[in-house]
Amino acid sequence: MINETLKSSITPGAPKTNRIGLEHTLYRGGKTTLCAGCGHNAISERIIDAFFEMGVDPKQVIKLSGIGCSSKSPAYFLGTSHGFNSVHGRMPSVGTGAVLANRKLIAIGVSGDGDTGAIGIGQFVHLMRRNVPLIYIIEDNGCYGLTKGQFSPTADVGSKLKTGVVNDLTPIDTCALAIELGASFVARSFSGDKKQLLSILKASLSHRGTALIDVISPCVTFNDHEGSTKSYAYVKDHDEPLGEVSFVPYFEDISVEYDAGTTTEVQMHDGSKLYLKKMAEDYDPTDKLNAVRVIHETARRGEFATGILYIEPDKPDFLELLNVVDEPLATLPVERVRPGREVLTEIMDSLR
């Protein structure tokens, strides 16, 4: 299957390749085993597009996940990348370890609202604090799909199970929480909004540090009925884009014409540019307090503010803080990781 946006540019016999000469099909994964119409599949498609369009080498990518429907999805994109479907709620620690082992890796982690908001909230919190370079996608459907529809911690107050049970616990807003915790790239999108999600994913690939993307992704089997605030119908009506997200990668030498009064330009660490065209209101994605305020205000109206909610492009990531060498630790030669005899002698002498 080839992405809609690319179809037009394909000429028979000469498949379109990206800037590193790879075909789009190389970015695909195994056949999905999720339900037909599941929002997660659309997200996988956007990930494929984003990595293809950005010309990311799949051999440098690692795909990580916890447990749940969402966490199955890394098997459905980037089939030639190493993947790791780990332990429920613990993807952040596995991802942290992997990135520490090899800082050249491009890490994408896929989690769900239960995997993140319930069992994994502790690791989520500390990943955000550390600003570990990793794209963290929450495929957020407000329920536990794999165990048949129980509420998750992101279920809205008043949302109903198919059995009629109503949720009366306050949901966790993972984006507001992430901003509070010091996350450096926080976005929210909707699995059905191809254009916005693709732009956000591309921008996240240019970000250094943790990029949290909460993607509302309706569960067609357990949470797409009337009364659900995470159904296709509800989200379509209540999606409140903060602005149009345009992303120009560093390798595309394009200068974008924009009206300085209505568009904010954010310079990414790698030289890429993010253009946020203001729509609903005058929104500055580098203003932390305002970001939190907007998230709360839209939520109070029963709406979802989507787009890039907060960004701090120059915040040092965890590897910088740890002052780790530029080369991957995993493959350092023995001479660089085993100190010489004189070191042992020195220590022995200090203990005599």
Partner 1 sequence: MAPTDVAAQPGAAQPVTRRIINDLSIQVATVNGSGSQTANLVLLRSIFQMGVPVSGKNMFPSNIAGLPTWYTIRANHQGYVARKKEIDFLVAMNVETAREDVLALEPGAAVLYDEPLKLSTLRNDLVFYAVPFDKIVAQVCHDAKLRRLVKNMIYDGVLSKLLEIDLAEMEHALRRQLGKKTKAIELNLAALEAGFAFAGEHLVKQDPYVIERMNKTAGMILVEGNAAAAMGCMLAGVTVIAWYPITPSSSLPETLISYMRKYRVDKETGKATFAIVQAEDEIAAIGMVVGAGWAGARAMTSTSGPGISLMGEFAGLAYYAELPGVVFDIQRVGPSTGLPTRTAQGDILKVATLSHGDTKQILLIPASAEECYTMAMVAFDLAERFQTLVFVMSDLDLGMNTWMSNTFTYPDAPLDRGKLLDDAALKRLGEWGRYRDVDGDGIPYRTIPGTGSPAYFTRGSGHNEKGQYSERPDDYVNNMERLSRKFETAKDYVPKPILTGDLDSDIAIVGYGSSHWAIEESRDQLLREVGASTAYMRLRAYPFTEELEAFIDHHQRIYVVEQNRDAQMLSLMRLALSAERGAKLRKVLHYNGLPIDARSITDEILAQEGIARPTHAGASEALVSASGPSEGPEGSAARSGAPERERAGVGPRRR
Long-range contacts of 163-172 (CB under 8 A, 24+ apart): 171/142, 172/117, 172/121
Q: Which residues 39-58 are close enough to bind partner 1 by CB under 8 A?
A: 58
Which of 5, 60, 170, 267 contacts partner 1 by CB under 8 A? 60
Report in angstroms how near the CB of residue 136 gets to partner 1 at its nearest.
Answer: 14
Q: Which residues is 215 bridged to in the sheet?
A: 139, 189
Whose Cβ is closer to partner 1: residue 30's or residue 37's? 30
Of 127, 53, 55, the C-alpha closest to 91 is: 127
As a whole number of angstroms, the distance between CA 133 and CA 95 comes to 9
Which of 40, 90, 207, 273 contacts partner 1 by CB under 8 A? 90
> x/- site string to partner 1, residues 309 to 328, per CB under 8 A?
----------x--xxxxx-x
As a whole number of angstroms, the distance between CA 284 and CA 291 comes to 8
Q: Are 201 and 139 in contact (CB under 8 A)?
A: no
Which of 96, 229, 231, 298 contacts partner 1 by CB under 8 A? 96
Cα(first)–Cα(last) distance of the chain, in Å? 70
Of 18, 78, 84, 17, the C-alpha closest to 48 is: 78
Helices (H), 213-262: 232-238
Whose Cβ is closer to partner 1: residue 17's or residue 80's? 80
Contact between 84 and partner 1 per CB under 8 A:
yes
From 10-18, 95-103, 160-168, 207-215, give the range in contact with partner 1 by CB under 8 A: 95-103
Report in angstroms how near the CB of residue 85 gets to partner 1 at its nearest.
Answer: 4
Backbone angles phi, psi at 151, to 5 degrees: -65, 145
Which of 16, 19, 59, 148 contacts partner 1 by CB under 8 A? 59
Report in angstroms how near the CB of residue 249 gets to partner 1 at its nearest.
Answer: 22
Structural tokens at position 139: 């495929």
Report in angstroms how near the CB of residue 86 gets to partner 1 at its nearest.
Answer: 7
Binding site for partner 1 (CB under 8 A): 58-60, 62, 64, 74-75, 79-87, 90, 92-102, 104-105, 122-123, 125-126, 319, 322-326, 328-332, 334, 336-339, 341, 343-344, 347-348, 351-352
